[in-house]
Structure 1
């Protein structure tokens, strides 16, 4: 059995849905289909989920939201007309929106229910279209599928008991179309994963049914070793391990939601990234283990929007509990951190910029000065992280030397270096303005010169 998940670009319009139907028809093993909401039809377009967020925002502000609702309806109506399907879904959307806004739930729950309409409506349309083509298919609501989630609107987590329920799907013979992105609490309340969570749904369902393969269809032939917007025509990656993909996703690769692979990884289910527009392409396989390679680095990722909290104090290393107290201050202020490179007398904490507002910055600095009495404390903003990733790095001598050479050739100063104990990745902190030069230089060193 294969579980196939189709992303927003794959279901953006009727033309794309016809391609999806052909892909499903071409392989009888594709029994379970997970779909996103319609994405952008072109670069100037708006994703349906964003239209639904606008709809929810208008409601939150107490404004008329009929125009926002009509924009959502128009998107689905265009799909239905071209596929020659009934327009029952449109009436369903309008009825659901009014019901959600008039129920007694809290605002966060209402907004989750509104956002989920995109995936839910698309799943109903695709299942109806497959039936119209003569396939034995049906829509399956996430509650029926067994997706039981924690009660955390906008950031729900799957509960362990779900997987036994999801496995019951294997008893059915028809093609099952499941909307991604949302599930239900034990009490029956609709909640969503974090943004991009349809990938999470696909991985969870694949794990639950113990699929032989989880296919993730997107709009690229494969994963590239570097962002094609930075390096023209970069090399494709034919095979990655879960660890490598997880590191690349965290550091800026947009192919997968950073959390998406965890359920598949735990069940050791291989994942294949394929192109809806070119399904014959080999794609990229993501596996638990792969054969030894002569390549130290498989990918280079970069992300901007970080800050560094730098704290220095003479004999810090002898002051028991210093690091814990520093991190407790961040915890008290609701701030999560990414990395903590350190020296004998100094410690840096890397934080995403949106976590540390100017108001919080003033509070944190004041508390550090008062409670920890450091010699120096300051915030360094506009930082970027660049990560080179490869499970083979530990077998090659000179990987760090090659990387630092690349930064030197790009005339980019290194603010910090950090390597995890797993030796799967090496992280470099630089100023944002040097990202493009640095990534291009790293690509030359690790992929062109070799």
Structure 2
């Protein structure tokens, strides 16, 4: 009913003479024919000559509306549940077919126009008073409003259900693509079709750095699979290397700590996500600098270094043992100098420039390193090992308490007393 209180007072239905229903009833089939013809002429979507089922449904709707209207005139207390439920169902059907409500609303206006035309013609013949005719017109408009509201309600409910189901399918698809071991190609293709997600040639997974509200997903492009409810909120971006895709991804992820994994074939999405998540962990530890959207492919050497930290630590225990008895400040200076020396082709002057110290200072430190490491610095394989562990140590330097220098060993001091140098 309308919001103006008509339902509470019974107006305008209560103002209608009951005998009007008796005058209307014999003409209902004729009015239905005229409505059908006018609707199919004016609304192209309803003109389906070869579809008997559709025409029958339209005829049923028209007849239900007419009969209910007349019954309501005869009995103002007639409940509208049956006809409104019918229109609610029609609204759901339109949503299910992927159509808007435009055609239905136009058809309802056309039907109302025909009904009013026939009513006014009959009113002249019956010499109906203007006040009564006005009440009939008001009742007709209110009735149309009830039906339009019911159709819109059913349409909205169906759209919400479809959207919710589609989102659930897409989340299941994302889980399937990240599965370990990988799911079969046929299972992925079937679920992708059900989720209306065209299978791309390549994808990149994204790991987000914190829990994000689920409605944040509306900012992502429609072809991006998103599940922000996972322990690590995650996305799958199709064809990430396509024209303009990188900028689009950066805009969508602006303000959100995010790591984009490497581009891989769609069946290897899980591998991309594993690397994105590992990269994210290193970002959170401060090993990889955070700044905007981080891409795993720009940090592959770091990822390799930290792929098995136990193995890297074991190598550091072995190769950096000569530094373990030194004070932490000495360890830091000599480790920094040795790494710069290895990276600069063992050129002392370049090391000095890199570290912003005097060349003589560098040469002094290098003599210390030669005394500590001896012939190890002459072996290319050992120099390679040293660079690996020193790079890892440098990357960890910003992390509190994280170092790659073996624990200090107890050593004898000048007086013969056992002294233990521990890191602070």
* TM-score range normalised by the length of the shorter chain: under 0.3
TM-score scaled by length of structure 1: 0.22
Pair member with larger Rg: 2
Q: Which has the higher strand share?
A: 1
Q: Which has the higher helix share?
A: 2
Choose between structure 1 and 2 for higher RCO, CA contacts under 8 A separated by at least 6 residues: 1
TM-score scaled by length of structure 2: 0.23
